[in-house]
Each structure stands twice: as structure tokens, then as C-alpha cells.
């Protein structure tokens, strides 16, 4: 399995931003205002993944007191990391599309000012989830073998 490439995540984010912006251009005036902390759930997921990454890394490096990692656990962690990084990139794109749409129309729609704040919270949370997922994926690497020097 290959490591997640930033190019793939960037492509996902750009496509999501374009699609979200298009949908908002067509239907923004019919949508209800977003809750200010709508994207903060992604931040909670990011925190859990960072904790899991540090815990898993200690187990992979076989630090004292850490249980060994079962191969299936590591494989599931990599799958979680890959899915989360794609989700983070996708949601970063959606929140970016919202931000790009509401900045120019914030005086035309009463909800746009509130949605501007929600978009910023969502973008920060999505970026944090993507970073946490990439860190978890990195922590799943096996430690490099020593070069024979002890």
C-alpha cells in the first residue's frame, strides 16, 4: 500500500470546492444558516486520531510497557488514516467553496456573515483532520532497521 500523496488530497479538495461553489450559486438563498460550529466535529476526530497515532507509535516502536501491535490493528489504522485524510481534504474543499461564495455576498444575505464564520471553523477543522490522518499514517511505518552500529 502506498502512502497518501498530497497531490491526490489537493485534487480532491479542489474538485469539492468547485462543486460546492456551483451548488451554492444555484441554491444558497434556499438554504438555512449553518451552525457556527458546524465543522468542529472534524476537530474532535482529529484529536482522537492524534492520540491514536502517538499510542500506536509507542506500540510499534515497542517502548517499555507498550503492548505489541497486531498486524490487523496496524492495517486498520492505515485504512482509517487514508479515509480520514480524504474526508479532511473533501471537507476542506467544501468549506473553501462556501467561503469563496459567501465573502462577496455577505452583504446580500443575512446568513452569509454567520456562514463565513462557520466556513472558517470548518476549514481549520478539516485541515486539522487531514494533518492528523497523515500523522497517523506516518506513525504506522515500521521503525527503520539500525545500520548494524550498536
**147: confidence class by pLDDT, cuts 50, 70, 90:** very low
Cβ–Cβ under 8 Å, residues 36 and 113 = no
The answer to whether the beta carbons of residues 34 and 114 sit under 8 Å apart is: yes
Residues 84 and 132: beta-carbon distance below 8 Å: yes
The fraction of the chain above a pLDDT of 90, given in percent, is 63
| pLDDT higher than threshold 60 for residue 149 | no
Mean pLDDT of 114-122: 93
- Tens-place pLDDT, residues 66-79: 788 888 888 899 99
Query: 21-30, 39-48, 113-122, 138-147: which has the minimum mean pLDDT?
Result: 138-147
- Cα four-point dihedral sign 104, 106, 107, 108: positive
The whole-number average pLDDT for the span 28-54 is: 92
pLDDT of residue 60: 84
Q: pTM of the predicted model, to two decimals?
A: 0.88
Amino acid at each position: 500500500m502506498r502512502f497518501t500523496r498530497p497531490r491526490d488530497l489537493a485534487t480532491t479538495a479542489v474538485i469539492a470546492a468547485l462543486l460546492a461553489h456551483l451548488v451554492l450559486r444555484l441554491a444558497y438563498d434556499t438554504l438555512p444558516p449553518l451552525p457556527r460550529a458546524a465543522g468542529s466535529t472534524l476537530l474532535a476526530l482529529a484529536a482522537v486520531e492524534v492520540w491514536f497515532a502517538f499510542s500506536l507509535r509507542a506500540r510499534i516502536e515497542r517502548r517499555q510497557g507498550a503492548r505489541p501491535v497486531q498486524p490487523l490493528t496496524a492495517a486498520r489504522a492505515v485504512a482509517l488514516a487514508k479515509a480520514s485524510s480524504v474526508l479532511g481534504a473533501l471537507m476542506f474543499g467544501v468549506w473553501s467553496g462556501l467561503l469563496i461564495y459567501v465573502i462577496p455576498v455577505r452583504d446580500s444575505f443575512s446568513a452569509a456573515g454567520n456562514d463565513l464564520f462557520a466556513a472558517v471553523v470548518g476549514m481549520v477543522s478539516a485541515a486539522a483532520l487531514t494533518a492528523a490522518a497523515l500523522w497517523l499514517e506516518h506513525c504506522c511505518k515500521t521503525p527503520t532497521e539500525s545500520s548494524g552500529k550498536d
